[in-house]
Structure 1
Amino acid sequence: MRFSPSAFLALVAFAALTADGVLAKKKADEDVADAENRVAILGKDNFTETVEGGSKATLVKFYAPWCTHCKAMAPEFVAAAAELKDDNVRLAEVDCTAEAELCQEHGVQGYPTLKVFRESGTGEYRGGRKASDFVAYMKKQLLPDVTLLKADDIETFKDSDKVVVVAHFASEDDDGYKQYKKVAGELRDSTVFGATFDKKVAKKVDIKKAPSVTVFQQFDDGRVDFAEDEFTQDALTSFVKDNSIPLLNELGPENFMSYIESGKPLAYLFVTSDDERKELGDKLRPVAKKYKGKINFVFIDANQFGEHASTLNLKQEWPAFAIQEPVNQFKYPFSQDKEIEGDAIEEFVQDYIEGKLEPSIKSEPIPESNDEDVKVVVADNFDGIVMDKKKDVLIEFYAPWCGHCKKLAPIYEKVAAKYSGLGDKIVIAKMDATANDIP
């Protein structure tokens, strides 16, 4: 979510100082304008016509002009539009401050929201926010769910992306192939799928039997073969997902939600330098490999995202390690009094797997006095106040820095005062969500 055209602008400014700089700047400005023109501006009058006609796939950005993340992403979006100019792909944008009804129709709840429109339907964009991410993702939209491979293209195909799945089945009637096609349809936005029914073609990439499914990676071991006997949709889906990310991946805004949506525990390793990343990565890689498919391990740049440590109940002291369960948000911080060593982390992870660790719950002290109309809730008194079955409870989860929360405060206090005489039946409460976990 952080992109800047500053390097490009500096280059243009430098060129302007030279004798030929004026012409260079003019050409550069024309190139930028041309690229910007390739991002279609949509409104209610031309939206349907644009997304349904002309291009096989359209990526639409729903944004607000005041949105910081939208501004940061804008030059990357424009650059992607320029790179995709010769493909059958269109990039477009909708200003939701001017087209509120249109944005509401498409379920826009935050900015930027990115959606892909294809002949087969509409889906959420789930890629990164760099130009290269937009380009790679949208080019995948032009591919069939499964590309049928021939002898002269299978080797090139397997190296065409960071993760490529190649299957070999006896025929299209194979039950396993039918399940494979379902998986490809489900995961096509993030992964490239191919197949062959010719054993001679399969042998070109060292696939020697049918049925078989192989994930080719541009990281870790380079390839992983499906080892189960039953080619079910669930088994194949898990296999592809588990082998589509590195053992130790870099976590950032572009892939955070994919990890959360996986439902698997996420093990964070906070680092501050490439040297630290390599040293600790070498120590943790065997642990990540041992628990592959059970826990996802990631690096996180403490220089950029150090504040996230507090949400894991870690102090901002590096390096640091913690496990978080994305579904219930339970957190298990590794003691910051200990060195991060392979054996210590392996023991910690094994204890977590076996259910021997208690989740860490952050709580402010319970107030000595809680006589105000708006009751103060912290993690340690949450159950006693909020879960009281004899009372109806309205609770506000707020952040002290939140402008909307500050505006709500006097109104909320008036509501609490109105019901103050019904304290045995109704409770109006608040909880600082930045300083307390929900038990």
Structure 2
Amino acid sequence: MRFQSLLSTASMLAFVGLAAAEGASDVIDLNPSNFQSLVNPESLMLVEFFAPWCGHCKALAPEYEQAASALKEKSIKLAKVNCVDEADLCQAHGVQGYPTLKVFRDGEPTDYTGPRKADGIVSYMTKQALPAVTDVTAENHEDFKKADRVVVVLYATSTSAAPVPEFSLTANKHRDDFLFGLTTDSAVSDAAGVSPPAIVVYRQFDEPQTEYPYPVGSATVKDIEDWVKELAIPIVDEVGAENYQTYAQSGKPLAYLFLDPTMENKQEYIGGIRPTAAKYKGKINFVWIDGIKFGDHARALNLPEQKWPAFVIQDLAKQLKYPMDQSEEYSSEAVAEWVEKFANGELQPQLKSQPIPETQDEPVFNLVGKQFDEVIFDDSKDVFVEFYASWCGHCKRLKPTWDTLAEKFVEVKDRLLIPLLLVISAKMEATENDLPPSVPFRISGFPTLKFKPAGSKEFLDYDGDRSLESLVAFVEEHAINPLDASVPIQNASHEEVHGHDEL
């Protein structure tokens, strides 16, 4: 394994100015006549498929140019295809949206899953160019430790001794995420101040050097990756589109400090929550976020006012929100108390809900968050519920069929309820209602149709086509209550009951 000499991303990007000043471009233009001849011979190339009218493409363009100039120093080429001019070429490569980025190795493509900023592109492609585990020597040791935000080095006695096999498997699994290095040179271990075998994580934030604290010889892939992932998240960092997935994938609650980034005392507010963030490191992730740019996200987290600073904790696994009252004076002490209450299970989530409708005059029951438990978990009723979003085109097309379905069963509405519920979108756009914590699922797409049989807590997913005939057949198959109004129903105690007023 060979280590290609690495400069820090910041240092490399400093060289880009000259090319930009001269109007030169280091991004290669591809078309059908040169695509194979330029792409296939390269061991590594990044290709962007774009449309000139695409706003996201326009935003990416300067970042892509900057990354191309920086990566030129590493002999890594970046190219682009104009999908308006070369529609057939883009279609041949399965391009369905813009921009689409693909990594080509000897002509074989894989999806690019990295950031869309210059430094992120440089970091991602640098990892792609290196072997999963790089040879670390006395000559490159210092440069390698600083080559990325998170670098993992195994100081070993030999390439066959534990935990080298598990370490190598970890590196292959996470080569897109972190840089991994291995050395068996005792002089390098001495320079690092460690006794092999030892695994050390080097970071460009928080504590710069952290050694694996458990017996290294018995470390498994899961042990190593869990430890590195935990260290890869700063105590407090800015969150945005580039790194949100890191937090989302961690599964831990996410504590947001919303700020106006132009305020003079911004760093004081960030520093104020740092002790609390350090105290709960590993249990709750802490970030600060641009409240001006991401005001819609603040409202989705039940922070209705454009008033900063503001603080909220989101349980990502359950999609529950715990915002601090914006009418109260903000302080880091209040944040510490709020977090402690959350950690101790003493807070109730704040659920967004529309007002309860004064009347229910339509065949379809208009369900809101405040009534969810009362209506959905009524054991006497079968419930077929549509979760929809007002902006969803598929939901709009389903509406007349859903209305007809409700009309078909209107005579048994005392025993079969067909409601709708407007919920928060998977894209985090604010709507009108939150699901309560009693619900054993979350909504990730629209429309979502679920059926809860009478007397049961189980929800059945509807995955069939959205024709009236299929929906009716599904109801008839799964309903517990008789769908003939002349047949009496029985409650959970098997006592005969008769129709009652609709909720």
- TM-score of the superposition, structure 2-length normalised? 0.71
Give the Cα–Cα distance (whole angstroms) in 1 for the partners of residues 83 and 133 of structure 2: 35
Q: Which has the larger radius of gyration?
A: 2
Distance (Å, rounded) in 2 between the aligned partners of 1:341 and 1:65: 47
Q: Distance in 1 between matches of 2:189 and 2:126?
A: 25
Write the distance in 1 (CA, Å) between the matches of 2:160 and 2:330: 52
Q: Which of 199, 211, 228 is the equivalent residue of 1:240?
A: 228
8 Å contact 2:351–2:369 — kept in the other structure? Answer: yes
Counterpart of 2:356 in structure 1 is 366
User: Structure 2: which amino acid aligns with 1:221?
Assistant: E
Are positions 1:58 and 2:45 aligned together? yes
Distance 2:38 2:382 in 1: 54
Specify which of 319, 330, 344 is matched with residue 320 of structure 2.
Answer: 330
Matched AA of 1:240: V
Answer 1 or 2: which has greater helix percent.
Answer: 1
Which is worse superposed, 89-98 or 292-301? 89-98
Distance in 1 separating the partners of 2:157 and 2:52 = 54
* Residue of structure 2 in register with 1:264 after alignment: 252
Question: Aligned with 2:181: secondary structure?
Answer: strand
| CA deviation string 1:122-151 (max 9, x = no partner) | 654343212232122112211111111111
Q: 1:275 to 1:127 in 2, by over 3 A?
A: farther
Query: How far apart, CA to CA, are the structure 2 residues paired with 1:324 and 1:41?
Result: 46
* C-alpha deviation, 1:388, in angstroms: 6.4
Counterpart code for 2:315 = E
- 301, 313, 316: which is aligned to 2:290? 301
**How far did residue 432 of structure 1 move?**
5.5
Secondary structure of 2:384 counterpart: strand
Q: Whole-Å Cα distance in 2 between the matches of residues 120 and 383 of structure 1?
A: 55
The SS at the match of 1:195 is: strand
**C-alpha separation in 2, matches of 1:362 and 1:47:** 52
Note the C-alpha offset of 1:327: 2.2
**2: CA distance between counterparts of 1:271 and 1:307?**
14
Task: Check if 1:219 corresponds to 2:205.
Answer: yes
Give the deviation of 1:332 after TM superposition. 1.4
**Alpha-carbon offset, residue 269 of structure 1:** 0.6
Residue in 2 that maps onto 1:200 = 187
2: distance between equivalents of 1:75 and 1:47? 23
Tell which deviates more after alignment, 337-346 or 135-144.
Answer: 337-346
Change over 3 Å in CA distance of 1:414–1:40 after alignment to 2: same
Deviation string, structure 1 residues 266-300 (Cα, Å, up to 9, x no partner): 11111113533311222211111121122211110
Q: What's the counterpart of residue 141 of structure 2?
A: 154
**Cα deviations across residues 324-351 of structure 1 (Å, max 9, x unaligned)?**
1222211111233444434432332222
Distance 1:131 1:285 in 2: 28
8 A Cα contact 1:40 1:91, kept in partner: yes
Closer, same or farther in 2 for the Cα pair 1:222/1:363, shift >3 Å? same
Give the alignment partner of residue 137 of structure 1, picking from 116, 121, 124: 124
Deviates more, 1:154-163 or 1:54-63: 54-63
Name whichever of 182-191 and 79-88 sits farther off: 79-88
Gaps in structure 1 of 5+ consecutive residues: 1-10, 12-23
Write the deviation string for residues 74-109 of structure 1: whole angstroms up to 9, x where unpaired: 3322343344345133434473993575465x7x5x
Name the CA distance, whole Å, in 1 between partners of 2:263 and 2:211: 31
The residue number in structure 1 matching 2:388 is 397
In structure 2, the residue matched to 1:74 is 61
Q: Write the letter of the residue equivalent to 1:395.
A: E
Task: State the alpha-carbon separation in 1 of the partners of residues 34 and 360 from structure 2.
Answer: 57
| Structure 2 unpaired stretches of 5+ | 1-16, 425-430, 437-503
For 1:118 and 1:263, locate their aligned partners in 2 and report how far apart those are by CA, in whole Å: 33
**Pair 1:62–1:164, CA change in 2 (3 A):** same
Q: CA deviation at 1:204?
A: 1.6
CA distance 1:60–1:420, shift in 2 (3 Å):
farther
Query: 1:411: Cα distance to partner?
Result: 5.9
Residues 217, 223 of structure 1: 8 Å contact kept: yes
Q: Which residue of 1 aligns with 2:280?
A: 291
What amino acid is aligned across from residue 214 of structure 2 in structure 1? E
Is residue 41–residue 106 contact of structure 2 (8 Å, CA) maintained in 1? no
Q: Which amino acid aligns with 2:368?
A: V
What amino acid is the match of 2:250? S
Identity of aligned residues (%): 36
Q: How many residues align?
A: 401
Contact map agreement 1:35 1:82 (CA 8 A) in 2: yes
User: Per the alignment, do residues 235 and 123 of structure 1 end up closer, same or farther by CA in structure 2, a change over 3 Å counting?
Assistant: farther
In structure 1, C-alpha distance between the alignment counterparts of 2:160 and 2:421, rounded to whole Å: 60
In structure 1, give the amino acid aligned to 2:116. R
Correspondence 1:128 to 2:125: no
